[in-house]
Amino acid sequence: MAHLFCITASFMLERIRIVLIGTSHPGNIGAAARAMKTMGLEQLALVAPRCEGITPEAIARASGADDILERATHHDSLDTALTDCRWVVGASARSRHLPWPLCSPREFSARLPGEMQGHDVTVALVFGREDKGLTNEELQRCHTHVHIPTSSDYSSLNLAAAVQVLAYECRQAALATPSGLSEAMPGSVHPFGVEWDNPLANHADTERFFEHLERTLTDIGFHDPANPRQLMARLRRLYMRSRMDVMELNMLRGILTRVDRLQNPPTGPADQDESPH
Amino acid sequence: MAHLFCITASFMLERIRIVLIGTSHPGNIGAAARAMKTMGLEQLALVAPRCEGITPEAIARASGADDILERATHHDSLDTALTDCRWVVGASARSRHLPWPLCSPREFSARLPGEMQGHDVTVALVFGREDKGLTNEELQRCHTHVHIPTSSDYSSLNLAAAVQVLAYECRQAALATPSGLSEAMPGSVHPFGVEWDNPLANHADTERFFEHLERTLTDIGFHDPANPRQLMARLRRLYMRSRMDVMELNMLRGILTRVDRLQNPPTGPADQDESPH
């Protein structure tokens, strides 16, 4: 039974990706790897670190978790680190401009098993820079933000400590999942409380939709990229929190394509109409 | 303190509307009123009852809750019963065609205080016909469905009994809310876990948006009302579960208006462009 727990817990934990953006100190990368390994997490993605990633200091601080460092993936942009992810959670001290769905670490833990239903679901936990966290653009690529409550007298939680707390909550979620993660996964609840008819969209497809949406809204004169105000941020927030499934996303892209044609009618003599959905 | 509890609990309970659609038996309306009154609920809306509503039998079964019957509102359509509601919950034995967000009565109770933040929020609990429940069209006007789990051997829960269970859960929610419902409402959590920047859209505005969406999609040839497939149902499901706020809804309507103009350009010589958002 203990062995079964280990297998199913690690099946869940191995699909959780810790993403560190713009880290300044190799020691923090090493310490984050160590925090991950203590809780059974394996996937580390480094996005545009502002230091040489794997230095002797990083390895020293990893203290035996060098395998995590060795297997870490390196990315120029956050998007490539998230391509296959279906739930993206940003560690944040609250959204600065626009309120964004927010949960506590405990709520994150409670939702995790449901979010990870299905064999191919990867979840990302995104952590920002030591000095200034995540940018608004990065925060707006997250489905939800998670805020670690700290003392109001002393809120200076360092990067590896934040990774440690959320990695711990991941492990708690994995251990609390009674009978392993399968397609059906008894004992956990789908994000919508019911078995869904389509998989939720991944990050790459979602970003392609937002690019298409912005292009179309610009073409029809509703959006001015030179004076964006909060239009795209607000539309992102709306669609991100609905957690689009792949069929819904395809329908929305179909609508955009139809609008594109109104704006720029095809010039061919006998245009074949696409099936609407 | 007990007195304070009473005041704040009733402030919450008086903004919960029980909506009965197509009820066949006056006795059931009376029994539902009695169930409501035992738990402190006051608002009863009757939509197209298939019986004379307030008969001597209804009054007998109400057993002292006649005031609820007397103040009950009567409606030809579900939409007019829901106009001002910002959270619409349908009592359902699972959606038949399309999975829809679903919660248990306990989860409904836990979410209720957060959903009711703000003084002008009315919540509706919608119950269908004794014999065949809610239609798909009615179910698709709900943000979420709530399913009362019953014995697999004997699942015959009558209408007033279903009202009783959910009215009880409403009261539990009201009593558990520690310090009254105000704008800020400490002790309960906003649906998105954070203080939001705009009120959520009400039912009437949401329905106007869906009418506009369907009209525009039909005009641009993406939607064929004669062969609807599940297009509008799926779009409803997507936008309903995102819980649009009033600003988001206005932005989407602005986009639709812009697309309408592409399809039917204004004929005036010097058309004034509306502000995009």
pLDDT band (50, 70, 90) for residue B178: low
Q: What is the per-residue pLDDT across B239-266, written as a single tens digit (0 to 9) for each?
A: 999 999 999 999 999 999 999 999 888 8
**What value of ipTM does the predicted structure carry?**
0.87
CB A245 within 8 A of CB A200: yes
Flag whether B184 is in a domain: no
- B44 falls in which pLDDT band (50, 70, 90)? very high
With CA atoms as reference, the chain B residue closest to A99 would be: B196
A269 pLDDT band, cuts 50/70/90, is low
Question: A264 — contact with chain B (CB < 8 Å)?
Answer: no
Distance CA A83, CA A73 (A): 13
Question: Does A166 lie in the same domain as A217?
Answer: no
Do both B113 and B236 map to the same domain? no
In this structure, what token pair is assigned to residue A101? 């769905």
Cα separation, A114 vs A177, whole angstroms: 10
CA atoms lying within 13 Å on the CB side of residue B240: 26
**Domain annotation covers residue B64:** yes
Do A246 and A129 fall into the same domain? no
Summarize pLDDT for B11-27 with one digit per residue, the tens.
Answer: 899 999 999 999 999 99
Under 8 Å CB pairs connecting chains A and B tally to: 109
Examine residue B277 and state whether it is found in any structural domain, yes or no. no
Same domain, A13 and A81: yes
Chain A residues with CB inside 8 Å of B223's CB?
Answer: 276
Of A192, A197, A217, the CB nearest to B255: A217
pLDDT number for residue B5: 47
pLDDT score for A4: 45
Is B238–A248 a contact, with Cβ atoms under 8 angstroms apart? yes
Domain count, chain B: 2
Cβ–Cβ contacts within 10 Å for residue B101, how many?
A: 19
Kindly list the residues from chain B whose CB atom is less than 8 angstroms away from the CB atom of residue A262. 220, 259, 262-263
Confidence (pLDDT) at B216: 98
Pairing state between β A16-21 and A85-91: unpaired
Grade residue A23 by pLDDT with cuts at 50, 70 and 90.
very high
Please, which residues 81-140 of chain A have a Cβ atom closer than 8 Å to chain B?
Answer: 94-95, 98-104, 107
Q: Does B198 touch chain A (CB under 8 A)?
A: no
Cα separation, A188 vs A148, in Å, equals 24
Rounded-to-integer distance, Cα A60 and Cα A46, Å: 18
Rounded Cα–Cα distance for residues A129 and A159 (Å): 8
Residue of A nearest to B97 (CA): A197
Task: Please state, in angstroms and rounded to a whole number, the distance separating the CA atoms of residues A36 and A78.
Answer: 20
Domain assignment present for residue B193? The answer is no
Element (H, E) at A103: strand A102-103
In contact, B127 and B21? CB cutoff 8 Å: yes
- Candidate from B192, B242, B276 with C-beta closest to A223: B276
Decide if A236 is inside a domain: yes
Q: Is there a domain that residue B196 lies in?
A: no
Q: Which residue has the higher pLDDT, B190 or A42?
A: A42
What are the two backbone dihedrals, phi and then psi, of residue B199, each rounded to the nearest 5 degrees? Answer: -65, 150
Closest CA to A240 of A166, A138, A162: A138
| B232: containing domain | 203-263
Residues B126 and B22 in one domain: yes
Q: What is the pLDDT of residues A149-166, one digit of tens each?
A: 988 888 889 999 999 999
Shared-domain flag, residues B88 and B211? no
pLDDT for B17: 98
Q: Rounded distance, CA B199 to CA B192, Å?
A: 12
Cα A270 to Cα B260: distance, rounded to the nearest angstrom: 25
Q: Give Cα separations from A234 to A4, A88, B48, B131, B195 (angstroms).
A: 44, 17, 39, 43, 15
Q: Which residue type occupies B80?
A: T
Same domain as A208, residue A169: no
Selected residues 9-38 of chain A with any CB under 8 Å from a CB in chain B = none
Domain end residue (candidates: B141, B176, B211): B176
Assess if residue A24 is contained within a domain: yes
Is B58 in the same domain as B17? Answer: yes
The CATH number of residue A112's host domain is: 3.40.1280.10
Query: What's the average model confidence in pLDDT over B215-222?
Result: 97
- Residue A155 structure tokens: 């809120």
Specify whether B20 is located in the same domain as B143.
Answer: yes
In a domain, residue A135? The reply is yes
For the stretch A250-263, pLDDT in tens is 999 999 999 999 98
Say if residue A144 is in the same domain as residue A231: no
- If you write DSSP's letter for every residue of A56-102 in order, what string do you get? HHHHHHHTT-HHHHHH-EEESSHHHHHTTEEEEEEE-S--SSS---E
